[in-house]
Amino acid sequence: MLAVNVILLVVGLGLLVKGSDLFVMSSSSIAKRLGISEFVIGLTLVSIGTSVPELASSLTASFQGASGIVIGNIVGSNIANVGLIVGTAALLSRVKTEEQMLKRDGYIMFFASALFYIFALDLRISRLEASIFLLLYIAYILFLLDKVQKHKEEIYFKDFLNYFFKFEYLFDLKAKIETGIKGRMEINGILEGKEKEEEENETGAEIENKAENKAENKIKNEIEYGIENGKENGKEFEIESEIEVKTYGKGSIYADLVKLLASGAAIIIGASYFINQSIFFARLLEVPETLIGMSLVAVGTSLPELMVTVSAARSGFANIALGNAIGSNITNIFLILGCAGLAYPLPITELSVYFITPFMLIISSLLLLFIWTGWEIKRFEGLFLILIYAGFMLQVFRMS
């Protein structure tokens, strides 16, 4: 009987992780085919791509009232991202850092962790506090897409706070949406006008040839329009990639829809099996749900990132792991905790408030210190992060 539970746990994790990967890929492809702007795709899909397993498992646990697993998953994932993932990357290869990484994203990560700790002091995350997290996440994404791209070397943490408290992100969001709609209307208007004028002078074979080349002409016009407007904003576009996106076969979008539905079902089923079995083992072993969330759920949903980290470090791109860890920690608190808390207010245990969350702040501070010292994370620092992560997990098991 126990073997069946183990199998269901592993199957659920596999469906959750693989389904999340396929979901992001297929939904991004569909969005591009439908002409949705890169801004919207980046805001809704790409930015949360690596956090879909954590998001799905946390929402499932939240709806089932397993708040301990939600908190354990989020805090445990953040600690694992620093102690396990960054530590492993640094142990395999030196991780180069830069001042911008510390003074902007690093400080925002610490701010998110500190804000979570302040909200958790009353042993509860309310819907209002969850809404604040979500608002901060939206502001953070818009801040990266707008302000940071225009002033790459001059934007820091204090600028993000000003951006948030002055509600600039609301104006930027409105401008992005209006620009995207206007651009699509102009493209369609130009194309329809040209087609109407040409069709009046075409008959017979000319109409047949026109029909065959209609899709290609539309592609070229859209690309030319995108390049012209992209240059005005100081950006360049890859023509080859745009052509590749637009020239898929007619049936391909249906294949993407099938993949999207299948991956969505896999995520739902996988998250359900994974969380249900996690709760089962928590009760069987008589350990708090928070501990299961920190260990089994957090490490399980972080396995894909760990594999990517090992591969990147061996290829000489260990710094990718650092950027992914910092971004993931911000997303885990602002987005995932925000969504889970909005779905259902989350009670928090004293163990989380007085021991686990303070350790998250400590290990986050250590990461920022290691980034600052010599602007690289050395191998012995990576080993130290792994050792204190292992010691911390051991202590949590003993206390539980």
Top pLDDT among 253 and 118 is at 118
**Residue 182 scores a pLDDT above 70:** no
pLDDT > 70 in the chain, percent: 74
- Name which of 44-53, 112-121, 188-197, 225-234 the model is least confident about: 225-234
For residues 154 and 296, state if they share a domain: yes
**pLDDT at residue 306 in the model:** 76
**pLDDT at residue 194 in the model:** 57
Name the phi and psi angles at 346, rounded to 5. Answer: -110, 110
The answer to whether position 163 is within a domain reads: no
**Which of 201, 221, 246 is the last residue in one of the domains?**
246
Q: Are strands 346-347 and 376-377 parallel, antiparallel or unpaired?
A: unpaired
Top pLDDT among 240 and 136 is at 136
For residues 257 and 238, state if they share a domain: no
The angle formed by the CA atoms of residues 272, 324 and 350, to the nearest 5 degrees, is 55
Report which of 58, 51, 93, 52 is spatially closest to residue 73, judged by C-alpha positions: 58
Rounded-to-integer distance, Cα 161 and Cα 158, Å: 5
| Residue 17 token pair | 């992780």
pLDDT in tens, 301-333: 777 777 767 777 777 777 777 887 888 899 999
Top pLDDT among 355 and 99 is at 355
Q: Which helix (H) or strand (E) holds 112?
A: helix 107-120
**pLDDT at residue 231 in the model:** 44
Name the phi and psi angles at 251, rounded to 5. Answer: -80, -10
For residues 183 and 134, state if they share a domain: no
For residues 345 and 322, state if they share a domain: yes
* DSSP letter assigned to residue 93: S
Mean pLDDT over each residue of the chain, to the nearest integer: 77
**pLDDT at residue 143 in the model:** 86
| Structural domain boundaries, residue 301 | 2-158+250-399
**Residue 288 scores a pLDDT above 70:** yes
- Name which of 33-47, 145-159, 341-355 the model is least confident about: 33-47
**pLDDT at residue 328 in the model:** 85
**pLDDT at residue 153 in the model:** 58
Report which of 264, 260, 268 is spatially closest to residue 28, judged by C-alpha positions: 260
The answer to whether position 168 is within a domain reads: no
Most confident of the ranges 102-106, 330-334, 394-398: 330-334
Top pLDDT among 265 and 382 is at 382
Top pLDDT among 222 and 53 is at 53
**pLDDT at residue 246 in the model:** 39
Report which of 16, 13, 30, 11 is spatially closest to residue 258, judged by C-alpha positions: 30
For residues 258 and 336, state if they share a domain: yes
Rounded-to-integer distance, Cα 87 and Cα 381, Å: 7
**Torsion angle of C-alpha atoms 223, 45, 20, 318, degrees rounded to 10:** 90
**pLDDT at residue 222 in the model:** 46
For residues 132 and 280, state if they share a domain: yes
For the chain, what's the residue count? 400
**Residue 51 scores a pLDDT above 80:** no
pLDDT band at 238 (very low <50, low <70, confident <90, very high): very low
- Residue 165 burial (C-beta neighbours within 10 Å; 0-12, 13-18, 19+): exposed
Number of domains in the chain: 2
pTM: 0.73
Rounded-to-integer distance, Cα 168 and Cα 290, Å: 37
Rounded-to-integer distance, Cα 67 and Cα 286, Å: 16
CATH number at residue 16: 1.20.1420.30
**Which of 227, 246, 265 is the last residue in one of the domains?**
246
For residues 191 and 274, state if they share a domain: no
For residues 254 and 127, state if they share a domain: yes
**pLDDT at residue 148 in the model:** 63
Question: Which of 40-66 are b and which e, b meaning 16 or more Cβ less than 10 Å from the residue's Cβ?
Answer: ebebebebbebbbbbbbbbbbbbeeeb
For residues 13 and 134, state if they share a domain: yes
**pLDDT at residue 2 in the model:** 83
**pLDDT at residue 348 in the model:** 92
**Residue 334 scores a pLDDT above 90:** yes
For residues 190 and 98, state if they share a domain: no
For 222, what's the count of Cα atoms within 13 Å in the CB-facing half-sphere?
A: 24
**Residue 20 scores a pLDDT above 90:** no
Report which of 54, 52, 46, 58 is spatially closest to residue 77, judged by C-alpha positions: 54
**Residue 383 scores a pLDDT above 90:** yes
**Which of 222, 246, 270 is the last residue in one of the domains?**
246
Segment 148-174 mean pLDDT: 79
Report which of 33, 24, 69, 92 is spatially closest to residue 242, judged by C-alpha positions: 33
The answer to whether position 166 is within a domain reads: no
pLDDT in tens, 186-210: 555 655 565 555 555 555 555 555 5
> From start to end of 299-377, where are the E strands?
346-347, 376-377
**Residue 296 scores a pLDDT above 50:** yes
For residues 310 and 294, state if they share a domain: yes
For residues 238 and 254, state if they share a domain: no
- Name which of 144-158, 246-260, 271-285, 368-382 the model is least confident about: 246-260
**pLDDT at residue 98 in the model:** 79
Rounded-to-integer distance, Cα 346 and Cα 331, Å: 18
Contact between 355 and 399 (Cβ < 8 Å): yes
**pLDDT at residue 183 in the model:** 55
- Name which of 32-36, 50-54, 328-332 the model is least confident about: 32-36
Segment 55-70 mean pLDDT: 86
pLDDT > 90 in the chain, percent: 24
The answer to whether position 301 is within a domain reads: yes
Segment 15-27 mean pLDDT: 78
Top pLDDT among 96 and 243 is at 96
**Residue 263 scores a pLDDT above 80:** yes
